[in-house]
Amino acid sequence: MTTLLLADHDNATLGSATARALSAARELGADVHVLIAGSNAKPAAEAAAKLEGVAKVLLADDPSLDHQRAEPAAALVVALAKDYDAIVAPATSSGKNILPRAAALLDVMQISDIIKVVAPNTFERPIYAGNAIETVESTDTKKVITVRGAAFPAAKEGTAAAPIETVAVTPAESGSAFVSESLSKSDRPELTAARIVVSGGRALGSSEKFNEVLLPLADKLHAAVGASRAAVDAGYAPNDFQVGQTGKIVAPELYIAIGLSGAIQHLAGMKDSKVIVAINKDEDAPIVQIADYSLIGDLFTIIPELDKALG
């Protein structure tokens, strides 16, 4: 049994979710080949080759794969699929965009967002916004799987680099074209990879207060900034800050939830955090119930005090 891992990358660097998906792929008990589908993507391939447990890196380098649109990337996966028993990708925007298409073309079901490998054909995955865990046994001969990164440790770098093999690409017919992308730039750590996340909710009251109260604390802690959907919908924080069922899934070492209630849809995105701190004036708030530590009181008093104590 050999597993193909479709890497998440931006051609120059490997996304951190790839190393986590690699840990899941290795639990399938077979050799893992990492597929780098991109354009001028040799640096990403070299980074993948260094990861422990990678038997081989396949580099598919072609302008049609530049932005990893679903159609050409899925066509490539399908072209390679005959040599593999399982095709795995991190459940990132790219993985979730490409793999369902590949699964449909291969006429197998996709097993989405796994959090545990029970056996090579049996997996656990959260359903109902994380309120139940489903065990899925697949009888498909080829497994197509996306991996929830927060549930697996990142594979470390190994001692020897795996070989990199170039794969020929036949540009596929495509109904889509890349138009543009606008990436938000920030000096803070990326939300899904950060060790510490400081997250704010509706209680912040305005974008001015959100920035004034949360950002200095986040900067002192070298933390990423997150937000509840209510804070995002009210315009206090940008969309890409949203944590939860319809936002990002995070599992940092420390999650500080400030003035947010901890609705189930929010918990779905952060309840695997190692240590959760709630700052809330309501001791019955759901976030307080699941927090390891709670500070009950007005955030506008507590945060400046915390800020001062941090120096």
Ligand X SMILES: Cc1cc2nc3c(=O)[nH]c(=O)nc-3n(C[C@H](O)[C@H](O)[C@H](O)COP(=O)(O)OP(=O)(O)OC[C@H]3O[C@@H](n4cnc5c(N)ncnc54)[C@H](O)[C@@H]3O)c2cc1C
Provide the binding-site residues for ligand X, judged by CB under 6 A. 201-203, 228-231, 242-247, 259-261, 263, 265-266, 269, 280-282, 285, 298-300
Which amino acid, residue 237?
Answer: A
Closer residue to ligand X (CB): 217 or 243: 243
Tokens matching residue 27? 């639990």
| Position with the least CB separation from ligand X | 244
> What H or E segment, with its residue span, contains residue 126?
strand 122-127
Closer residue to ligand X (CB): 56 or 281: 281
Could you tell me if residue 53 is left (phi over 0), alpha (psi between -120 and 50 degrees) or otherwise beta?
Answer: left
Q: Taking the CA of residue 20 as centre, how many other CA atoms within 13 Å lie in the half-sphere pointing to its CB? A: 23
Shortest distance, position 76 Cβ to ligand X, whole Å: 32
The helix/strand/coil state of 253 is coil
Closer residue to ligand X (CB): 5 or 287: 287
Shortest distance, position 25 Cβ to ligand X, whole Å: 27
d(CA 158, CA 109): 33
Per DSSP, what are the bridge partners of residue 147? 90, 114
d(CA 277, CA 258): 8
Shortest distance, position 75 Cβ to ligand X, whole Å: 32
d(CA 205, CA 245): 22
Closer residue to ligand X (CB): 54 or 263: 263
Shortest distance, position 96 Cβ to ligand X, whole Å: 15
Closer residue to ligand X (CB): 263 or 306: 263
Shortest distance, position 130 Cβ to ligand X, whole Å: 11
Shortest distance, position 203 Cβ to ligand X, whole Å: 3
* Closest listed residue to residue 266, CA positions, set 238, 295, 294, 241: 241
Closer residue to ligand X (CB): 80 or 267: 267
